[in-house]
Structure 1
Amino acid sequence: MFKMISFEKLLREYKLSLKVTADFMKAYLEILESPEEIESKSDFPSFDEIMEFLSDNEISYGIIESSIKDMQTKRISQTSILIAEGIKPENGEDGYISFTHRVKSSISLNQDEKGNINFKELNWFIEVKEGEVLARKVNPTEGLSGKNIKNQEIEAVKGKEAVFKYGKNVQESDEHDTLIASKSGRLEYEGDKIQINEVLTIKGSVDTSTGNIRFSGDVNIQGDIKTGFEVECLGSLEVMGVIEASNVHVGKDLVVKGGIQGNARSKVEVGGKLICRFIENAMVYTKGDIITDFIVHSNVSCGENLTVKGKKGLIVGGEIRVKNEISAQVIGSYMGTKTSLEVGLDPADKTKLETYKEELDSYQRKTREIHPNIETGKQMLQRGLMDNVRRVSFIKMLEEYNKILQSTNMVELEIQKIERTLIEAKTGVLKIKEKIYPGTKISIGRHTRFIKDEIGNCTMFIDNNDITVRKG
């Protein structure tokens, strides 16, 4: 309760009593009558007299004239009436931080047009790119000043400025008004700080609890990658368990403490090297080395060297393509399991060669289909039997035909280039520590050899334009 300040003035048989709050924000007027009864109403304080009394006491703002006139015309006395009120200042609003992404990680379910939910795409973590804006600072407001009844300005209190709180891989802009990601990675909130972790850690398996994983940095999975789920990362991937029949794409290296257990519909692609316990019934493609304990009934493409060692050191079944060198304990099996090994040519080139040949077949088929129509059109054009509409259609067909011929020539040149590399390949080496069984097909460069009899410890390579076996 504010302390009141009092002002009084005798005016004939009346006393004007003014009470003002100590902050000069409100003023109350009470007109007190003398004990004697007054017959003449004209003696009641006039509006001008009251206004003069207020002016004498420095009351000049926020005067409620309607209340004063009401008191005067109705001869209201013995009652305290609010006759002046100032305007309180409106303090400024505090500044705050506006985040560009949701603050807390949560599962977000995606529905297709039919309302079906894909439970493999849960989007439970937030990934950001280097240079991306993470948060913006919203400035505090100044507020609106007020006035007291003495017409004195009362300054508003400006809102407090917000403060950025951030951790690793996050920085302020030069203007200090935004937070920016200095590295790509997972957006996290550590306490009240925003930060970016370049490693995504899955504390368990990739399954229905996580959905598919797509991340631009490194990923550490402390369990398995379950059948049917996908993992894509631009960095390296470490899996503490097993990769089941899943599609996995790794930008750098892949380490699997367990092994890779695939099927005909799943694929593991690695931009660097692969280290794992085993590869079984899987399709695996790497640009770098592969080091594993055994490979069984798998299609493996290795861009550098393949080393199969350990207790088993076995390659049996499937097709293995390696650019430089294959080193294994045992190849094939005593049951004559069909096993194919190719070494000496970059598997990526071999894949390109197969793709180019498929394209060439397609172009040649189109050429055979269009060629009769081209010849017919030429004859009609020579005889003057072609109207303008047919002429336009014929010209378009001729342009398409010429494009197909150009594409055919380009593909043929690429095929020749790769085949020349294949013919000249002489660097591939195959090393067998224990034995290689019949039923195995060995290709080094353009040369092929079928193993008909069991061979012990040996090395195979190109010499004198043929595959040479050097024992021991």
Structure 2
Amino acid sequence: MAGGPTNSSEYQEAELPALSPEKYDILFNKVSGGKQLSIFTDKEKLVAWIWIQPTSPFFELGYAELEDAVKQTGIPVANEKMVELSHMIRNLKTQQQSGNYDPAAFKPIIIAQGQAPTQGKDGWFEWYIEPPEKGKLRFVPDSHGRINFREMNTVVNVNANDPLVRIHEPTTGAAGVDVFRHAINARNGEAKKITRGKGLRWDEDMQTIYAETSGHVVFEDGSLSVSPIFSVTGNVDFSVGNISFRGSVEVRKDVLEGFSIKATETVLVEGIVQAATIIAGGDVEVRGGITGAGGKGLIETKGRLKTKYLVNTKIEARGDVLVDTQVVNCDLSCAGKLHVPQGKIVGGKVVALGGIEALEIGAELGTRTIVVVSTDEFATTETRSIDAEIDQLDAKRAKIETALGPYLKDRSLLNQLSGEKMELVVGQLKELEEIQQKVMKLQEERIAALAPFEESLSDTIIVHNRIYPGVDIRIDTSRQVFGEKIDGPVKLKPNYQRGTLSLHP
């Protein structure tokens, strides 16, 4: 706002600045005695000002005039502020005589202030988990900043007894006061509420909701729940993304190529699985069928697998595998029984510790089909890890044996070596011995890992209709490669004396 002029020429055609009615309420405004005197407040009436704007270098202003203007507004101005105004008027008269004014005297001066109200704060949610907003995509870049658009992380997983959310109460507002000493009402905060659904536990003292069961968090239309089942009403595709869930998963349609489902419990797919990955801690049921392509297609289950057909897929199951129509070019390993009583096993390799039952094995064209009932070729995650470690040690051992070839055959050659060379070779021999001991220990661990499966080991394969040429069947240590067609029904058992198989009607 403008300061006061310092010489008479500034008053002749001066236009006084106007107060905007959109911002201020003008309570007093009078032009007289070579000046304009205004008293006004802001729209909230929290601040009041007095403004002296000279219109002549010889303006008149007395304390009584100013005091009367204040009284007309009804603003209760504090005594100390009125004393300040009185001093200001005396100073202005002194300055008027010299013609040198303090510019601050011609700016709006605060004469009263109120107190703004403190509005109450609404209640709020303090989430202990990722806020479960429906449909929210949670892409996580890899170490190179790349994003896998299949990894949407739409599922918010929790364990039983995990804290989910704390509900904070709203606060009460505190009233304010304006420059007239009138109260200004304050708004109280509004409570934020959650409707508690299934799978939850409420702690009154902590005002906190806990998960009562493991599962995924659903928060929709103000209702919170934890469900042990994650349901997909359509396909598992880019609209859903990969699923990783602590519980059971149900898919009403298909699982498309390249997508994955990982569940700690069961998985049910009512459609088909196309070159996708399913890993389950419980049973897996695919009511359509399962196909793989280009090395894609994996089913791992710690329970039973049930499906219509299996094609070009890798399967690892701790329980039985039940297939309606066909198992084609699969790498299948199960600790239970492989049931295909109305279908065929063609191509690939199947290992089933609990025995095998099929309508037919092989094909007219002599497709090589390997069928095994033996723990020797059965693998688990643990045994594969052991086998990988053994392979690394075997490679290291072979390298050392190649370097030490002559000394391994004839230890007397060591006597011909110099001290430094002798020390190097002896060190390698010691390392070789340590590797052999490690391999023996790992082999013992492998046997122990497979020991629990020995109890379910069968010695029988049943074929109801036909075995075709090109089929290679092994039961325990007995093996037979079929060169001609065998009509069923036939029951195959090991013949340990000959090392082949015995065929029984």
Aligned residue in 1 for 2:122: 94
Change (3 A) 1:351 1:208: closer
Q: Using the alignment, how far apart are the partners of 1:151 and 1:274 within structure 2? A: 79
Contact 1:264 1:282 in 2 (8 A): no
Task: Choose which of 198, 210, 222 in structure 1 pairs with 2:228.
Answer: 198
Contact 2:120 2:172 in 1 (8 A): yes
Aligned residue in 1 for 2:32: none
Aligned residue in 1 for 2:337: 305
* Residues 109-118 or 294-303, more deviating: 109-118
1:22-41 to structure 2, matched below 5 A, reads none
1:276-291 to structure 2, matched below 5 A, reads 276-291=307-322
Aligned residue in 2 for 1:439: 470
Deviations 1:160-215 (A, max 9, x none): 55444321112223523222222222222232112222222222222222222222
Contact 2:249 2:267 in 1 (8 A): yes
1:9-48 to structure 2, matched below 5 A, reads none
Give the length in aligned residue pairs: 417
What displacement does 1:416 show? 6.9
Consecutive unaligned residues of structure 1, counting only runs of 5 or more, are: 1-24, 28-41, 48-58, 76-81
Consecutive unaligned residues of structure 2, counting only runs of 5 or more, are: 1-45, 49-61, 68-74, 91-109
Q: Using the alignment, how far apart are the partners of 2:142 and 2:263 within structure 1? A: 25
Aligned residue in 2 for 1:270: 301
Q: Give the RMSD, CA atoms, in angstroms.
A: 4.8
Aligned residue in 2 for 1:134: 164
What displacement does 1:327 show? 1.2
1:318-337 to structure 2, matched below 5 A, reads 318-337=348-367
1:469 paired with 2:500, answer no
Contact 1:139 1:162 in 2 (8 A): yes
Task: Choose which of 479, 488, 491 in structure 2 pairs with 1:459.
Answer: 491
Matched position secondary structure for 2:441: helix
Matched position secondary structure for 2:273: coil
Aligned residue in 1 for 2:328: 296
1:188 paired with 2:218, answer yes
Matched position secondary structure for 1:363: helix
Q: Using the alignment, how far apart are the partners of 1:288 and 1:440 within structure 2? A: 25
* Residues 424-433 or 319-328, more deviating: 424-433
* Residues 126-135 or 430-439, more deviating: 126-135
Aligned residue in 1 for 2:78: 63
Contact 2:193 2:222 in 1 (8 A): no
TM-score, length of structure 1 as denominator length: 0.71
* Residues 253-262 or 158-167, more deviating: 158-167
Contact 1:425 1:445 in 2 (8 A): no
Change (3 A) 1:419 1:438: farther
Contact 2:290 2:309 in 1 (8 A): yes
Contact 2:369 2:472 in 1 (8 A): yes
TM-score, length of structure 2 as denominator length: 0.67
1:213 paired with 2:243, answer yes
Q: Using the alignment, how far apart are the partners of 1:423 and 1:172 within structure 2? A: 48
Q: Using the alignment, how far apart are the partners of 2:162 and 2:114 within structure 1? A: 49
Contact 1:170 1:195 in 2 (8 A): yes
Matched position secondary structure for 1:438: coil
Aligned residue in 1 for 2:261: 231
1:124 paired with 2:158, answer no
Change (3 A) 1:424 1:93: closer
Aligned residue in 2 for 1:173: 203
Q: Using the alignment, how far apart are the partners of 1:343 and 1:379 within structure 2? A: 49
